[in-house]
Amino acid sequence: MSQIRKIVIPVAGHGTRVLPATKSIPKEMLPVVDKPLIDYVVAEALEAGIEHVIFVTGRGKSALEDYFDHAFELEAGLQAKNKTDILTEVRQPIRPPGSLCYTRQQSPAGLGHAIWCAREIVGNEPFAISLPDVIIRGTPGCLKEMVDQYKVCNGNIVAVEEVPREEVNKYGIIAPKSTDSDLMEMTGMVEKPTVEDAPSNFSITGRYILQPEIFSLLEKTEKGAGNEIQLTDAMAELMKAQSFFAYRFSGESHDCGSKLGWLKANMAFAKDRSEFTEDVAAYAKELFSI
């Protein structure tokens, strides 16, 4: 059994659902409390034992690259003023040399194409994928739970959570063989089915562990929904040859690719911070009191 050492994080998107904020800042750098989205995603990966983070970037993403590097003038200024606590926080995202890398997706050809762009860096080993729009509250983190489950099933895994039955048409929905445990073998998946046709109410959240054979399938996958190369189309092909599992993780996801989702995430993660909990609760009560 191979260890999950690498993760691919596609960050080339324009963040159109949260414009105009993302006109001048990458969506992955939108702050939730006092850290950008991408910080939460990378921290979750590191907790899971990931050793190498691969960003698939596009134009205008230099702020993301700078975030994980030293800011020498800022650090020197904080050091001179003896602001050691803040200095420690500023240096926290910096990773050892060689543990982060970047590759370009030159055209917006879809999520499947973005993952395919990382094929030479991933190589012939299983790997994880995290979508940076989604941050997940919970201890342990979602990816840590998935890596632990991978040691049990040694197959492809997607993270899922239950959604209201009447909202299944908004999500990719899995078809499970059984729902008796949190790790469920899958028989298929459907993108945005009608309520009547949905095989379950388990929606695919933005976390995956996939085998490297997905890359050869992505190379042959034709454009699908949105005239883009879809990861789910290649996964459906891979499912014909390999086992696929869905894992019902214990945390709570927040889709920060939408304005409302981002606002909710800020409230939820602020609530988790002891220095903000009481003030945030008091202000929310005052603001929304009728």
Query: Is residue 1 a part of any domain in this protein?
Result: no
Rounded CA gap, 54 and 154, in Å?
Answer: 22
* Structural domain boundaries enclosing 107: 6-288
* Contact predicate 11/132, CB 8 Å: yes
Query: Is residue 103 a part of any domain in this protein?
Result: yes
**Residue of 109, 129, 98 whose CA lies nearest to 12:** 109
- CATH number for the domain spanning 48: value is 3.90.550.10
- The pLDDT of residue 290: 59
- pTM of the entire structure? 0.92
- The pLDDT of residue 170: 84
Query: Is residue 157 a part of any domain in this protein?
Result: yes
Query: Is residue 200 a part of any domain in this protein?
Result: yes
Task: DSSP letter for 6, please.
Answer: E
Query: Is residue 201 a part of any domain in this protein?
Result: yes
Rounded CA gap, 230 and 212, in Å?
Answer: 16
Query: Is residue 114 a part of any domain in this protein?
Result: yes
* pLDDT tens by residue, the chain, 290 residues: 578 999 999 998 888 888 898 888 999 999 999 999 999 999 999 999 999 999 999 888 899 999 999 999 999 999 999 999 999 999 999 999 989 999 998 887 788 999 999 999 999 999 999 999 999 999 999 999 999 999 988 889 999 999 999 989 888 889 999 888 999 999 988 888 888 888 999 999 999 999 999 999 998 887 766 667 888 889 989 999 999 999 999 999 999 989 999 999 999 999 999 999 999 989 988 988 85
The amino acid at 89:
E
Query: Is residue 71 a part of any domain in this protein?
Result: yes
Structural domain total, the chain: 1
Question: How far, rounded to the nearest angstrom, does the alpha carbon of residue 196 sit from its chain's CA centroid?
Answer: 29
Query: Is residue 284 a part of any domain in this protein?
Result: yes
